[in-house]
Every structure is written in C-alpha cells, then in structure tokens.
A and B are shown apart, each in its own frame.
Chain A
Amino acid sequence: MRDQELKHIGKPYNRKDGQEKVTGQAVYVHDMELPGMLHAKCVHSPHAHAKIVSIDTSEAEKVPGVKAIVTGKDAPYRVGLYMVDKNLIATDKVRYQGEIVAAVAAVDETTAERAVSLIKVDYEPLPIIHNVDEALEGNILVHEDLHTYEHMAGVFFPQKGTNIASWNRTLKGDVKKGFEEADFVLEDEFSVPAVAHVPMETHVTIAKADPYSDKVEIWSSGQSPFAIRQLLAKSLGINKSDVHVTVPYIGGGFGGKAGIHLEPFVTILSRAAKGRPVKLKATREEEFNLLPTRAGMRTRVKTGVKKDGSITAMEIYHDWDSGAYADYGVNVGKTAVYSGAGPYHVPNIELHSRTIYTNKVFSTAYRGFGHLETHWGIERHMERIATELGMDPFDFRMKNALKPGDTTISGELVYKTTGSPTACLEAVAKEIGWTGRKTEAERAEELKTGKIRGKGLALLQKAPAMPSYTSTAAIMQMNEDGHVKVMIGAIDMGQGANTVMAQIAAEELKIPMDDVEVVWNVDTDKHPYDWNTVASKYTFMGGNAVRKAAKNMIQQMKEVAAQVLRCHPDELEHDNGVIYHVHHTHRQIPFKKLAMGYMYENGNGIGGPVIAHGIYMASGLTNPDPETGQGRPGLVWTFGAHGVDLEVDVETGEVHVLKIASAFDIGKVINKKLVDGQVLGGVIQGLGSALIEGYKFSPDAKLLNPSFTDNKIPTAKDIPDQIVPIYIEDPETAQVDGPYGARGIGEHPMISVPSAIGNALYDALEIDFYRLPLNPESVALAIANASKKQ
C-alpha cells in the first residue's frame, strides 16, 4: 500500500489513554479495593542460603484480625514459565536473601505486619554460591533436584548434579579451521551486574479463591494475563478455565511483570483465608529484593580475523548469573544461541550460553532480553579488534555486518527484507559526524581543558524470544452507532499498543480514529488469547491479527449488503462508514444499518450483529537444534545502531553525553510520537545500565542497595543534551509480512547503548572498559590506573 493511500498509518496520533492518565482517573491495581479484602505481608529470609529448621507461627496466630498464615508446608507447589523450579514459598531451604518464608493475611496492613513480626524462623546457614565461578565448581548445589524439574525438553538443557539450569550451544561451520585461517586472534572478558526493572508501580496482586470450587479470580499488575492463567492453573493443579485474570492499567513492566510472580502465592493465602480476597502489594524494597531482576552476565569471547578485517571464527561463553531461580532466565540464555554474536556474519562459531544458579535474587525477562548484556561484550570486543587491526571501527563493522545472502549464527538466511544493519550504522555515523578515531595530538590538546570528547558506535539486533508456536488474536465488534470496539489480549502498559491497534483497525475499516476503541482492562474470560506482552512482537503479530479481523468485518458487512443491493460482494467497496457499489456509488448502505443486522422497510431482517475476529500465529519457526543451535527462531529481526558523542571529566570520571543518535530499520513507522517514546525511553534506560545502575552484594550475598537511595535510575538531570531517533523506512528492506512493513522496536533502543558509550570512552581516553556501570568512580579509577602505568 502506498503511503499517500494511508489515512491513519504513519500519523502521530495522541495516545488514547492520555486523558485518563493526566487527570488521575486511570485506576491501577495499587488503587483497587474489594469488599472484605485482606492485606498480606511477608516474612523474608535474612540468609542467602540456609535450611529452614523450624517456623513457629503460634504467637502470630493469636493476633486479633489475622485470618491466615501460610508457610512452605501449606504450599507444596512449584511454578515456572520455561523451567518449573520456583517454590511459591521457600520450602525446606531458602535460596536467596529476601525469599518469602511465610506470609500473613489480616484485616489491615498493620495487623498483618504485627503478626509477621511474631513469626519465629530458625535457620541453619548453608555455604553460599556468590558467583558463576563458584557455581561452576559444583561443590555446593542451589537445586539438588534440578534433574527432576519439569522443563521444555529439547529446548533447555539442565545439567544433572550441577548449578547449570540450561546449557545451550551453537555450532556452525568448522571453528578449528576458522581460527587456523585467522591472521590474528583476540580474547576478551566482559561483565554486567544484575539490574532492576524499576516499574514505578511495584508488583501487586489481589487474589480471590472460591472456597467451594477451584475457581480463582486474580487482579494483577502483570503484563501477561494469559501466562498467569496458564501457569497458575498448572502450578496449583486446577483447570485453566477456573482461573480468571483481569489486568487494568499497569504502572510499567519492562519484562519484570511478564510470566507469573505473586499470583499463585496470594491465591494460597486467599484459600487459607476461606476465600476472602487478599491483596499483596510489594514494597519498593521487595521490588528490589524479592522480585526478580535482570541477570548479571559474563562474556568470554575469542575471535579470529584476517588482516583485511574479515571475521573467520568466534568462540563465545555467555555465563548468566541467574540467581536462585531460572524459570524465565533459561530463555534469556537461549536467545544467545541465535543472537549472541551481534549482527555479524560469522562463518565458523562455537557459542555456549549457560544459565547458572547462585544464591542471589533471581532473574527474569528484562527489556532487551539478554541483548544489552551480550551486545556489551560483543560490541566492545569488535571495537578492540578494529583497534588491534588498525582499522576504523566503522569500516570494520560495515565489512562484517550481516548482508543479504549471509546466514546468522543459527543458520538463518538473511534476505534484503530482513532489514539492514549497515543502513543504520551509516545513518548514526553521519549524524554524530564520525570521521574516525581521535588522534593523540587532539587528545593532548583537549586534556588541557580537563575534559576530553569521544565518539563511539555500536550495532544491535533482536528478534522476539518466544516459543516457536506463539499466537495471538483480536475480536472486533461493531456497535449500533457504527463505532468499533476491538479486544486484544495484549497489555498496553504505556508502549501504546492500544493506540497503534486502533490506527490499524481505523485504516482497514476506513473510519475515523475516534470511532475505534481498543478495550482496556484485559480480562481472560472476555478478551481473546495472547501469549505474553513481551518481545517487541505485538505491533507485528497483533497488528496482523487486527488487520485480519477488520478485513473479516468488512467482508461480513459486504455479504449482507450484497443481498440488499442485489450484487456480488466483490462488487462492493467501503469508505467513510458505508458499503457502496464500486460503479453505482450512490447505491450504498451505512455501517450503522448493518451493525446489528439489516432491516428491510417491511420489517424483514437479514444478517446479524457484526462481530469479527482475526488471528496470527508465528509461522515457520523451529526450535534450535539441541547440539548445534541451528534453526529458524527469528520471527522478525530489527536491526539498529547507536552513535554517541560524549565528554568525560578526567578529574572526576564523570561522563556527560552530548548526543546519542539511534537508528532502527523499523520498516514502517505507524505512529512516530509513540515510536519516539519507545526510543527516548529505551535509550535512557540503556543509559542507566551504562552509567548508573547495578546490584551490589555483601560477602554473605545480601543485597546492599535495595532502595532508591543507593540504587537509582536516571533522572531528568542525567539525560544527554540530545537524542536523535532515526527510522529507516526503505520499502526495499521493510518487513513484507509485517503490518504495512512494520517491525517491532519496543526493546531495541536500550540494547548497545552501554557498548556505544564504552566505545566512545575508548575514543576519548584510550582506555578499555570491560565492566558496567561506567560510573564516575570506575572511570576515574581507570584513568588514575592508566596514568600510573605510563
């Protein structure tokens, strides 16, 4: 479809939820109260690894107003999306400091807290696994029964008798031969700490378990109501259809609210309280220390290159510090199998991605799904290879970046319509005025001012990480006034899905945006299925489903109109809320007259209420081969690049970012205002990972910074002077099977922001950084150490 024919696609409409959110009318689960509702508070483990010897709840039970107390023995259930490894409440032993050991439901929070303070728990401390190296030694096990855990077989590979929750591999080409062909080999090690999602609304759940049946009602801040339904039912051994989940507005997710969290546990409390609704609202401290994080990660990478700069072979170990559980974490690890070497053509590669248990707060999905972490290592490593070769890092990347005809590390063939990483790199290099690395003379001159500027580039890629058979659907109903209500199973947590889906519906139905509404309050009993609102997949998958639903709606109306107008449905067109004959255009029927079925003047009726649906299922995807990782896992790739121009204070180590240019081969921008929002917000979240954020643990593996005082996110004063979003909308490289050519972009903006900043710091200082965050302390120390060496 040519752009000039599009009425709504490509228009920067304001988000549909804007007014409710600026007036305080938008209701979140945080704000909800139900009749008879109880409040829950939890007892947390003070130890990182310990046996639970005994729990004495007798004093707590005596507190008036306490309606239920549960401990591990009351909840012999495990839960998990990909690896069923997580107890609802710690049973027999605790695996991280902060884990729930017991909980109380009481008439108010005061009473619940008082009761919690009276629960006595005796622990017998066990030796602690602090990091992946200790975990790999395997002398102490976080999960003794790992080999018995249910998991997606053939996709994840738990290693019996070890701390490895899954060991996934890629093997492509002949790695030995590849390294023999190399003129030069470089080895590096990089790492990132665990980082918090920090949704402004902490996790919250209200559960109401019918005492006379298996029925459970859940109100959750989760971003995946259908995953909650499925996993809660599975965990508690009840029918999926007995679980009813509602998700109203949610205050941010970023992956941390995907899958399932507090819901089954609160259900147990409600059952114990004889069916009264129970609300558990995580404190900010619990958000940091009970609920999951982004995993810490270490990359060990070795690459062979020829003198001309072409990569001949790579060997990579990505080791993920997943903490005490890996129910979702194993799938983060799996993505490295097909995406863990960046958007490069690597003819021979051996890659190992190991998701590893330690005794720390556990990990889960996080915007970027492992890619910020892998790209930190890979894109810094590529920069160092270019340096060693004496090549311009721009030229080195252009030479090795994926091009049509290449294959990815998992053997996927790259088409022109897969998108273009090089177009993105060229765009950002131009935008930041990249002319090659700074010279020694320039650096010396700038050093006199106490501040040195540096520029850096980095590439990025990501495809949705999800089961190969992921599906979604849309239902569309027309009201008597010709307005259309669309129901989808995805959650609009601010990314703008509901506005974008309304634009797609309006485009296909050819009606004004005001006549379309995507229904909020996703309800698993009423809304159609969607797997999880994750993976930057919804514009693509949901967009295709909504498009099909709209076409189906038009077809239904045409079939009735054809009878009335006595013609074939193929002779009918639609526009401006009417169905009309393609030639005799005055012969027409308004949508309104068809919405509930058409009524003739004599009273005869035909047709019926116009209700349409559309589906989309990921097609042609396969699981990676267990031995080689080869397969077709990428539904839709989005490539991108960042260019950074920054200034570093050589005295304080403070980094001030002047400009970040970010380009994405997005195919088609459906709503620039909303896409800009994803880019600006994502880049700043990436900047947080680059410069500020990170978990710190004590020697006994207790989280040292579980609050905003010591674990901050960027504020308005931390943002760069300028961010320049650039969208590649080249019909030649657009996504042919995406809606209007569009690809996903929700997660991509934060990937490789740290890499580009690290590369710019090298340009400024000629110092290589290997660990995040690049806070003033680490930068100033590196500068001090470098000057000592000279």
Chain B
Amino acid sequence: MCNHNGDSCFTYKDSGLTKIELNCVINGDKVCELVDPTMTLLNFLHNQMKLFGVKEGCGEGECGACTIMMNGKAVNSCMILAVEAEGADIVTVEGLAKDGELSTLQKEFVEFDALQCGFCTPGMLMSSRALLDQNPNPTVEEVKEAIAGNFCRCTGYFPIVDAILSAAKKEKEESK
C-alpha cells in the first residue's frame, strides 16, 4: 500500500476539470447538479446529495455497501461515474419507504433481525429490492446469488435470506 498515494480510490478527488451538468431522478425527485467529471456516483450521492444511507465500505466494488438501484438494476455506486447517471432513475435506501411507512421489505428486515450494525443494510436492501422487482418469486439460491456481492460481517446472512423470501411472499399477497 501506500507508497504514498496508492489508496486513493476510497475518496473523492476534485480533478479541477470543468464541472458537467447532471440531470437525473433520485428517489422520485428531479435533480440538476454540476458535478466533477471524475466523481463517482457514490461520492455524488453521499457527499454532494447528502444521502448518507449510501455507505462506502471499500470503494473498489468488492463489498456492496454502496449498492443503489440505477434504472432498475442494483449497481455498486463506487464503480460508476456520476456523469454516467445522466438521465437515469436512481433509488437509494432513502427512497424505499413511502408516505412515512416502511416498505414490506424494510419491515421484514426488522422483523427477521436481518441487520445488526446496519452498515451493510442499505446496500443489502437495494440488492434485494432489485431482485424482487425482477423476480418476485426467487428461490433460496436466487436470493443468495442476488446478495452475494454484499458483504455482511454481523448476521451470517441467514436472517437476510429469510427476510427477503418472506418479503417476496408478502408482496405477492399485497398485490392480489
């Protein structure tokens, strides 16, 4: 590490380049911001938009703590430049609850104790949300596959898998 500067991926660096206008939708709100062309989407959401639910765990696409949904897909926001989100529809953990009420998925995470320290939880929820949007009836293996890119050191994953499967079942009942 560290021959001084080898660990820079973690943090946002202002490149000094001319800022670029970024238009996108975040949690249902239209946003127009000037961003540094080298800024990651993670740093844009966390530092510029102050959406602190978007967590940074490694900054190199390995741990999934910064997972958000972009155009319906779960992505590591640390691996995408903010300017790539031009025209995109972005959902972060802050966009899951509606009208002051937790979503079914969030409620099931609490009910099944699918979180402890809570630092991986926002990313875990976004990977789960993307899965259930694409596949409302996932198998256990499909759930594990969908969250395989999200590290959790606390729970041992079992409660998370159970919470997602239960949320899938409940969402199906609710949509009837």
Contacts and interface: CB of A to CB of B under 8 A. Distances in A.
Given A23-B93, A284-B58, A493-B117, A677 B154 contact: yes
A479 interface: no
A303 interface: no
Contacts of B161: 716
A168 B71 CA distance: 60
Nearest to A202: B57
A200 B148 contact: no
A14 B1 CA distance: 42
Question: Which among B65, B113, B143, B151 has the greatest number of chain A C-beta atoms within 10 A?
Answer: B113
Nearest to A719: B157
A110 B110 contact: no
A686 to B, nearest CB: 10
Contact of A719 (B110, B154, B158): B158
B152 to A, nearest CB: 7
A489 interface: no
A713 B155 contact: no
A14 B114 CA distance: 10
B114 to A, nearest CB: 9
Contact of A723 (B63, B121, B156): B156
B119 interface: yes
A250 interface: yes
B134 interface: no
Interface string A534-564: 0000000000000000000000000000000
A713 B153 contact: yes
Contacts of A254: 153
Contact of B57 (A23, A27, A284): A284
A680 interface: yes
Contacts of A281: 10-11
A438 interface: no
A677 B110 contact: no
Contacts of B152: 200
A287 to B, nearest CB: 9
Question: Which among A18, A20, A113, A116 has the greatest number of chain B C-beta atoms within 10 A?
Answer: A18
Question: Which among B54, B65, B106, B118 has the greatest number of chain A C-beta atoms within 10 A?
Answer: B118
Interface in A706-720: 706-709, 713-717, 719
B156 A682 contact: yes
B133 interface: no
B115 interface: yes
B135 to A, nearest CB: 16
B28 interface: no
Given A200-B55, A716-B160, A252 B145 contact: no
B154 A252 contact: yes
B97 interface: yes
B118 A285 contact: no
A113 B11 CA distance: 10
B82 to A, nearest CB: 16
Contact of A285 (B2, B14, B157): B2
A723 B65 CA distance: 25
Contacts of A201: 55, 57, 117, 119
A677 B159 contact: yes
A707 B4 contact: no
A681 interface: yes
A109 B11 contact: yes
Interface string A669-703: 00001101100111111000000000000000001
B110 A14 contact: yes
A22 interface: yes
A680 B159 contact: yes
Interface in B104-142: 106, 109-111, 113, 115-122, 125
B153 A44 contact: no
Nearest to A287: B58
A719 B156 contact: yes
Given A251-B118, A285-B2, A715 B148 contact: yes
A711 to B, nearest CB: 10
A251 B117 CA distance: 5
B151 A715 contact: yes
Interface string A267-279: 0000000000000
A110 B106 contact: no
A615 interface: no
Interface in A9-51: 14-15, 17-28, 30-31, 39, 42-46
Given A249-B118, A284-B60, A717 B154 contact: no
Question: Which among A18, A22, A117, A682 has the greatest number of chain B C-beta atoms within 10 A?
Answer: A22
Contacts of A197: 153
A707 B58 contact: yes
A634 interface: no
B102 to A, nearest CB: 7
Contact of B4 (A25, A43, A250, A495): A43
A336 interface: no
B55 A30 contact: yes
Given A252-B154, A707-B60, A31 B52 contact: yes
9 contacts: A21-B121, A27-B52, A44-B2, A44-B4, A117-B5, A254-B153, A281-B10, A281-B11, A673-B113
Given A14-B111, A249-B118, 17 more contacts: A15-B110, A18-B115, A24-B94, A44-B2, A200-B63, A200-B120, A200-B153, A201-B119, A251-B118, A281-B10, A283-B10, A286-B1, A494-B115, A677-B156, A680-B156, A707-B58, A716-B160
| Nearest 5 Cβ contacts at the A-B interface | A24-B53, A494-B116, A251-B119, A21-B118, A44-B2
Interface of B: 1-14, 46, 51-60, 62-63, 65, 92-94, 96-97, 102, 106, 109-111, 113, 115-122, 125, 143-145, 147-161
